[in-house]
Amino acid sequence: MKQNDGNPKPILGQKLFTRNFVLICLANLCTCMAGYSIMPVLPLYLMDVLHCQKSVMGVAMAVFPLVALLFRPFSGVIADRFDRRHVLIFSTLSCVVCFPLCLVASGVLVFMLVRFTHGLVFSSMTTSQATLAVDFMPEGKMGTGIGIFSSTVSLGMIFGPMLGLSAAAFSYAAAFWVPAGFAFAGAVFQMLLRPRKQIVIRQKKLSPDMFFMKEGTFALLALLIASFMQGMITNYLSVLARENGLADYASLYFLFMGLGLMGSRLFSGYIVDHGFIAQLICFSELATLGGAMLLSCTASPIVFVLCGTWLGISLGALMPSFQTILMSLADKSRRGVASSMYFIGMDGGLFLALLSGGVIADALGMDAAYRVGALGQLASLAIFLKFVLPQLRRRNAHV
């Protein structure tokens, strides 16, 4: 493969760390801390306070990600047709309100209604925030910028759950007010942003191409298949660890995986900007395949934790690379729909893993379910090489 297959060479003198870029990264860190801190607390709150049965608890918790996923196409249109900064601030402040509203929910149904609303505004917030972040990045340093921006998500994944459980140990009220405070801090950073005038779509009538970018279809499909493996880890790692006698090391696994994710996102964008996106994706897909295969069969604590680091590095390089591809294939006026497609791929892979991972595990065992997900990396890689890479080459030739 030739160098510069995927991205144009960076332009000298382009400045990435502007005031706006630093502020949007800080805002993303705060909102991610808010979102991830509440996740491990919700099942405990449902059982202890709302006395929710375990059979209902899964449905109550699934409302949020399902609504966020279904609303993604609309959030992309909103980000393209309206002022992204205003949409972002409004959505974030709505998230601030949703956290303490859970405390006043009188029953599971009211709780689900609050989480339904939270899913809508969360979808709009994350899509607008990611789109606005790309607006602040120089074209030749988009890969680096997306990698740095994504690393704030990793920080939220590492420290958010720890903070949430610590707050819950004090009281459930603290567990909901702490993320509300982080979300509000994110809104303050957003209010300080001073973006350039946005290119707004003036088309009056809604059309299918405003919700979906057809040139990103194959990139979305490859991302959806690749993120299935991340969904297996997020949803079923504790089950796999228990079956292999490694339950005591699950927390350590996630810590090292989070560090791997953050580290790889910091350097992988630099590789992308220097024209090696094809090589990076090939390596990341094959590394994820090998790491997941080893993870599915190991009984060694050391190998188990090292697999977490390895998969964090490979997945941390893979996901932002697909985000860069989707953004590169989109016009500047359609970056909102490109962002929504990225999140559809990520959320869709996680949701498919949640639904089908347990079914596969019941039939073949959890280790087999992980191997099925691992082999999916080959399908994702084939789609990238056959369809996505030629698109990138044509785009660069046109540029």
pLDDT at 8: 47
State the average pLDDT for the chain: 87
The pLDDT value recorded for residue 1 is 41
pLDDT band with cut points at 50, 70 and 90 for residue 65: confident
Contact 328, 146 (CB under 8 A): no
pLDDT at 2: 44
- Residue 200 — very low, low, confident or very high, per pLDDT cuts 50/70/90? low
Least confident interval from 10-24, 133-147, 242-256, 319-333: 10-24
Which pLDDT tens digit goes with each residue over 69-87?
899 989 988 888 889 999 9
pLDDT 10s digits, 273-330: 888 999 999 999 999 999 999 999 999 999 999 999 999 999 999 998 998 999 888 8
CB-CB contact of 367 with 241 (8 Å): no
Give yes or no for a contact between 208 and 329, defined as CB atoms under 8 angstroms apart: no
CB burial readout 17-34, b (16+ within 10 A) else e: eeebbebbbbbbbbbbbb
Kindly report the pTM of this predicted structure: 0.81
Of 348, 359, 364, which is closest to residue 72 (Cα–Cα)? 348
366-389 per-position pLDDT tens digit: 899 899 999 999 999 999 999 999
Residues 6 or more apart whose CB falls under 8 angstroms from that of 382 comprise none
Judge contact between 24 and 136, C-beta under 8 A. Answer: yes
String of DSSP letters for 66-117: HHHHHHHHHHHHHHHHS-HHHHHHHHHHHHHHHHHHGGG--SHHHHHHHHHH
pLDDT for 251: 79
144: amino acid identity, one letter:
T
Say if residues 336 and 84 touch (Cβ distance below 8 Å).
yes
Whether residue 104 is predicted with pLDDT greater than 50 in this model: the reply is: yes
Give the domains, in start order, of the chain with CATH numbers: 15-197 (1.20.1250.20), 208-399 (1.20.1250.20)
pLDDT of 204 higher than 60 = no
The pLDDT, as a whole number, for residue 208 is: 67
Least confident of 12-16, 243-247, 353-357: 12-16
Confidence class for position 348, pLDDT limits 50, 70, 90:
confident
Say what the pLDDT of residue 312 is. Answer: 92
| Residues of the chain above pLDDT 90, percent | 47
Residue 226 reports pLDDT greater than 90: yes
Task: Output the CA torsion sign for 290, 268, 143, 5.
Answer: negative
DSSP 130-196: HHHHHHTS-GGGHHHHHHHHHHHHHHHHHHHHHHHHHHHHH-HHHHHHHHHHHHHHHHHHHHT--PP
